[in-house]
Structure 1
């Protein structure tokens, strides 16, 4: 059974789960390569910009893992209410972490361009970790509130019953709906205004700067613009259920396919954006990735050549 509550055939269920698992595994492997590069290079660990970036990547990996796990579990193993709430707690928290982290990264770029003399004092690694902790606290409380609303409105026996572990099915009371709308509007409005204001400030700084400062401001402006694009994709994830309802109403026979496609494009594939936008685009990060992985490939080839060499010599001596 999928998140729509409708049974799929065995072949359809296997195909959807295989696609979700394969795509999720590939994206997590790519993201894992960036995390590995960060952990191996102290130059990134001493820069708050990369600290925030790698937190975004790790957060996306957690979000993707839980999303794929829930997708597979809804097809295979019925979950009781309690473990489902725990998984949804992680899912909702990490989902709200992403836009807040984008806002933090946009502010850091604004300070680097518009307040360069104060950047080293304001943007430190310790403050970056403090901001990450604050982001988790701010995102965790709305997710925990959903659980408290369920405790207050549902009988306690519901926690031992089997459920379809999907947010709209578990948190289905009018209180949940009102709470979700308020939190989403406040969260996205705050992040959207932060990105817009920092972009305009950096844009003005780019026009006023000259030479290398202008190039640096232009790069920061483009980075914040990409923050805005990723924020729009985050917003798309929030409005995706309404789009899905419209599409299902228009094509009811393709209900399961529409819901699966919406899940794939709104919950799975966007997790690949962070490494593509920042890791590949950033020259320092991309050069370190090539250095780490290309050197490993060359070393493995050299080791194979060294092992093959003595074998060939021994064969020649025998002949």
Structure 2
């Protein structure tokens, strides 16, 4: 129906995959989604079980990043499932595409919460190293929650603007039409394209500049410090570098259209396979890598995960074995 590189109007409908292909893709995406959400859920469980974590603004921002990834992943897999099974009207598609991008789309809407969250975490590390005497007064849990609320408000503005432009340029009957949930097909006016480019450029520039400036400041502090202060500054510098890696992982969704175009020009017959593979590599897998990069590296968080998740799980198995052992012995005696 809609070949790569072409545009579709808002009342386009149809199926891109057969029944077997749709089932296979839904199954793979569902299994990966459950696995990734379970791993991310272990981080969330550890956070809420450890009072020392949710009293630290650093971990408040981190767990917001993890929860956001879980929400985006759940919406993404749900949209894939609905796209391959039932027809959706314009209204529910607006809700889904306001939160995420999808592997069929030609262009990508950047999910703004993750980059802004990374920028906030980098600034917190900069204050901890370069302004240690003021860190406790500036970086509080209440201000971390306020920053999270601001991030959500800022991230909702582009989505609301998209819908407002549709209301202004399209008749209300558009919301009852059956469409394919691709953002570039839902929001395909020149206003949408201009707004998307402006938001992505401004947001990406702001986050990159924040990471570069905070990294250079912390680098200078690390060179000037000595002893334990130098080690702390070095850890903060490495943390900000990891934020840069996380940002690069986040921007994989930027290059997915380019990957699709290049791959389809080489192998046009494998369009369905290419689009789905790109979706897995740029939408699902990064939702696992981003929390792991930070959570596993952090000594405090990783030790608490072992305490609250792995040790508890191993102890529960040991307790079950202890309960079963007397029953087996009594059974052998009776025999």
TM-score, normalised relative to structure 2: 0.90
Rate the CA distance shift 1:85–1:314 in 2: closer, same or farther, 3 A.
same
1:133 aligns with 2:142: no
Equivalent positions of 1:204-219 (< 5 A) are 204-219=220-235
Deviates more, 1:20-29 or 1:47-56: 20-29
Rate the CA distance shift 1:233–1:298 in 2: closer, same or farther, 3 A.
closer
Q: Contact conserved, 2:89 with 2:175, CA < 8 A, in 1?
A: yes
- The match for 2:7 is none
Find the partner of 2:81 among 51, 72, 75: 72
Instruction: Measure the CA separation in 2 of the matches of 1:255 and 1:284.
Output: 45
1:52 aligns with 2:61: yes
Deviations, residues 131-158 of structure 1 (Å, cap 9, x unaligned) = 0000000110111101111111112111
3-state DSSP class of the match of 1:73? helix
1:2: Cα distance to partner?
9.6
- The two structures, once aligned, show a CA RMSD in angstroms of 2.0
1:72: Cα distance to partner?
1.4
- The match for 2:18 is 9
Instruction: Measure the CA separation in 1 of the matches of 2:323 and 2:203.
Output: 58
Deviates more, 1:5-14 or 1:102-111: 5-14
Find the partner of 1:90 among 94, 99, 104: 99
Instruction: Measure the CA separation in 2 of the matches of 1:240 and 1:274.
Output: 18
TM-score, normalised relative to structure 1: 0.94
1:6: Cα distance to partner?
5.8
3-state DSSP class of the match of 2:151? helix
1:246 aligns with 2:239: no
Rate the CA distance shift 1:242–1:151 in 2: closer, same or farther, 3 A.
farther
Deviations, residues 176-211 of structure 1 (Å, cap 9, x unaligned) = 111100000000000010001001111111111111
Find the partner of 1:187 among 196, 203, 206: 203
Deviations, residues 56-89 of structure 1 (Å, cap 9, x unaligned) = 0000000111111111111111101011111222
Equivalent positions of 1:1-319 (< 5 A) are 7-91=16-100, 95-315=111-331, 318=334
Where do 5+ consecutive residues of structure 1 fail to align? none
Instruction: Measure the CA separation in 2 of the matches of 1:47 and 1:194.
Output: 22
Q: Contact conserved, 2:55 with 2:141, CA < 8 A, in 1?
A: yes
Instruction: Measure the CA separation in 2 of the matches of 1:11 and 1:136.
Output: 38
- The match for 2:105 is none
Q: Contact conserved, 1:3 with 1:166, CA < 8 A, in 2?
A: no
Q: Contact conserved, 2:110 with 2:200, CA < 8 A, in 1?
A: no
Deviates more, 1:294-303 or 1:181-190: 294-303
Deviates more, 1:249-258 or 1:21-30: 249-258
Rate the CA distance shift 1:242–1:306 in 2: closer, same or farther, 3 A.
closer
Q: Contact conserved, 2:65 with 2:291, CA < 8 A, in 1?
A: no
Q: Contact conserved, 2:15 with 2:84, CA < 8 A, in 1?
A: no
